[in-house]
Amino acid sequence: EIVLTQSPATLSLSPGERATLSCRASQSPSGYLGWYQQKPGQAPRLLIWDASNRATGVPARFSGSGSGTDFTLTISSLEPEDFAVYYCQQRWNWPLTFGGGTNVEMK
């Protein structure tokens, strides 16, 4: 099972700032890593697939990068609606696993 470790657990930023979220895998998911956004009381929403591809309708301020075991989600300039919890997920092998999440909160 691939274990995903996300850091930091909490990121306190202001609107307009840049957010950089990290996801480290216990073994390489071969680039097959996604990112989800979850707001309170809502289901997760797919943002990024296969490390760097934005899902339909996702704003360009969201970008993903990385390879091997280290991946990054970057939000270039935080909008008020971006404050949420973000999870990475690998789909390289079964079971599909998620990280523990990074809470992006407003400073």
Partner 1 sequence: EVQLVESGGGLVQPGGSLRLSCVASGFSFSTSWMSWVRQAPGKGPESLGNIKGDGSEIYYLDSLKGRFTISRDNAKNSVYLQMDSLRGEDTAIYYCARDDRYGGGWYHAYWGQGTLVTVSS
| Residues near partner 1 (CB under 8 A) | 32, 34, 36, 42-46, 49-50, 53, 55, 87, 89, 91, 94-101
Phi-psi region of 88 (alpha: psi -120 to 50; beta: other; left: phi over 0): beta
Cross-strand pairs, 19: 75
Nearest distance from C-beta of residue 78 to partner 1, angstroms: 22
Which residue, 13 or 46, has its beta carbon nearer to partner 1? 46
Residue ranges of E strands in the chain? 4-7, 10-13, 19-25, 33-38, 45-49, 53-54, 62-67, 70-75, 84-90, 97-98, 102-106
Which residue, 19 or 97, has its beta carbon nearer to partner 1? 97
Nearest distance from C-beta of residue 39 to partner 1, angstroms: 12
Which residue, 36 or 83, has its beta carbon nearer to partner 1? 36
